[in-house]
């Protein structure tokens, strides 16, 4: 069984970067700018406004913005990368 990992601290260290501390001792700086700029959804792109991006909070060990407008899998944050992935099924 995989242990549950939570974020214990989040500090903004750049325009769109956060330093995240996890309860397993891991520390990562995650840059969200590419994710935000690549999004086509206006509700996500709205977080390119510095004040709106800076309104993040920790809730139950998760990093969230707004009314859960933005949230990311802990595993991606712990890896230090968030991105838009395209999954394409291939036939064998």
CATH of the domain at 65: 3.30.2020
Element (H, E) at 46: none
Indicate whether 22 belongs to any domain: yes
Phi, psi of 80 (to 5 degrees): 90, 20
Note down the domain range covering 47: 7-79
- Give the whole-angstrom CA distance, residue 60 versus residue 80: 20
Its sign, for the CA torsion 37, 14, 79, 1, is negative
pTM of the model: 0.85
Tokens describing residue 67: 């009314």
Indicate whether 88 belongs to any domain: no
Tokens describing residue 15: 């325009």
Tokens describing residue 91: 């036939």
Indicate whether 84 belongs to any domain: no
Indicate whether 86 belongs to any domain: no
- pLDDT for 83 equals 77
Spans of the chain, pLDDT less than 70: 1-2, 84-92
């Amino acid at each position: 069984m995989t242990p549950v990992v939570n974020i214990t601290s989040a500090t903004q260290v750049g325009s769109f970067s956060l330093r995240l501390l996890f309860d397993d001792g891991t520390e990562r700086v995650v840059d969200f700018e590419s994710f935000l700029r690549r999004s086509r959804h206006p509700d996500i792109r709205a977080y390119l406004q510095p004040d709106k991006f800076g309104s993040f909070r920790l809730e139950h060990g998760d990093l969230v913005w707004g009314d859960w407008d933005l949230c990311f899998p802990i595993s991606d944050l712990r890896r230090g990368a968030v991105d838009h992935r395209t999954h394409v099924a291939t036939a064998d």
